[in-house]
Amino acid sequence: MDKIIDIEDRIPTLRERRKKRTNRKFTLLLVIFLVTLFGLLYFQSPYSQVKKIVVKGANLTNSDQYIEQSGLQKGQSMWEIRTSNAEELLLKNDLIQDVTVKRNGLTSVGIEVTEWKKAAYLQSETGYAIVLENGKVFQSDKVLAPVDAPLLSGFDNPKIRGRMVNELSKLNGQVLSMISQIESVPSKADPYRIRLFMNDGYEVRAVIQSFAEKMNYYPSIIAQIGDTDKGVIDIEVGSFFQTYLDMYNPQPKEGEDEEIPE
C-alpha cells in the first residue's frame, strides 16, 4: 500500500523551491540592471573615448597626415569608430598600398600602413621627387638624395615613365642597386630607348620593353667582359660591348694612315 504524504509535510519544501526561484530571478534582474548601469556610465565616461592614435609604417610622410585622412579623432567614442570606413579612406591615398585599422585596448586605435616602395627619383625644382612602384610621383617635404633608388631623367611622359617603373619593379635587388641614373633618349623610330649610367662606371643602352629581362643578366655580362676598359653595353637587340676609347676616340684601322691635323 502506497504511503500517503500529508500536504502539511510538503509545504516547507515547496516554500524553499519558490524562494530559490525568486532569488534566481532577483539575481538575474540585478545583474542586468548593474550591467546596464555600468554600460551607461562607461559610455558617458572618458574611458570610452579615443585617447591615443598610433600609426606604424609611415616613412614617406608624417603620421598626422594619415590620421587626418582616416577621419579618426581623439575624444571620439571608441564604439562609434568604423575601422572599415577608416581603411577605405586611407586607401585613397596614392602613398598607401595596404592598411589595417584596429582598436587596441579600451582607449587606443592603431593604424598600420604599408606604403608603396620607392622605385626611382625625379629631379624637380625643389630637389628630388619620389617615383613609387605604382607609378605615382610624390613630392616629399623632406630633403632627399637619390641614394637608394636610381634617378630618372627626361621621363616627362607619364605613360613611358609608368612602363619604366614597372620594369624596375622586376629587377632583382642586386642589379637595381647598381643603377645610378636612367635617361630617356627617345628616337623617332623608338620612343622607349633609354641610357643607364651604372655605379661601376659602365653605360648601358636598352629599350624599356625588354629592359628587366635583359638587365637581370647584367652581373654575368660584366663577368664576361672581364678586366677590359670601361665602356658601353648595348642590349637593345642583342648584347654588344664597346669601350669608351673605341666609341669616342676610334683608332685608325691597321694599314690606314692616321690623319695628322694641319
Whole-number percent of the chain with pLDDT over 70: 81
Predicted confidence at residue 252, as pLDDT, reads 59
Q: How far apart are CA 182 and CA 211, in angstroms?
A: 11
Domains of the chain: 48-115 (3.10.20.310), 118-248 (3.40.50.10960)
Helix (H, G, I), strand (E, B) or coil at 95: coil
b/e burial code for range 124-149 (CB count within 10 A of at least 16 → b)? eeeebbbbbbbbbbbeeeeebebeeb
Predicted confidence at residue 13, as pLDDT, reads 67
pLDDT for 168-191, tens place per residue?
A: 999 998 999 999 999 999 988 899
Confidence class of residue 145 from pLDDT cuts 50, 70 and 90?
Answer: low
Predicted confidence at residue 5, as pLDDT, reads 52
Tell me how far apart the 2 most distant CA atoms of the chain are, in Å.
Answer: 150
62, 64, 69, 71 alpha-carbon torsion, rounded to 10°: 160
Residue 260 has pLDDT above 50, yes or no: no
Show Cβ contacts of residue 158 under 8 Å, excluding neighbours closer than 6 positions.
Answer: 135
43, 44, 47, 53 alpha-carbon torsion, rounded to 10°: 80
Show Cβ contacts of residue 90 under 8 Å, excluding neighbours closer than 6 positions.
Answer: 66, 69, 70, 96, 99, 101, 111, 113
The model's pTM: 0.69
Residue 256 has pLDDT above 80, yes or no: no
pLDDT for 4-26, tens place per residue?
A: 555 555 566 666 677 677 777 77
- Please report which helix (H) or strand (E) contains residue 7, including its range: helix 7-44
> What does each C-alpha distance from 2 to 5, 162 come to in angstroms?
9, 98
Quick count: other Cβ atoms within 10 Å of Cβ 240? 11
pLDDT for 48-88, tens place per residue?
A: 789 999 999 998 888 999 999 999 999 888 888 899 999 99
Confidence class of residue 262 from pLDDT cuts 50, 70 and 90?
Answer: very low
Q: How far apart are CA 70 and CA 236, in angstroms?
A: 46
Confidence class of residue 261 from pLDDT cuts 50, 70 and 90?
Answer: very low
C-alpha radius of gyration, the chain, whole number:
36
Burial class for 247, CB neighbours closer than 10 Å (0-12, 13-18, 19+): exposed
Whole-number percent of the chain with pLDDT over 90: 46
- Residue 147, all three cell numbers: 641614394
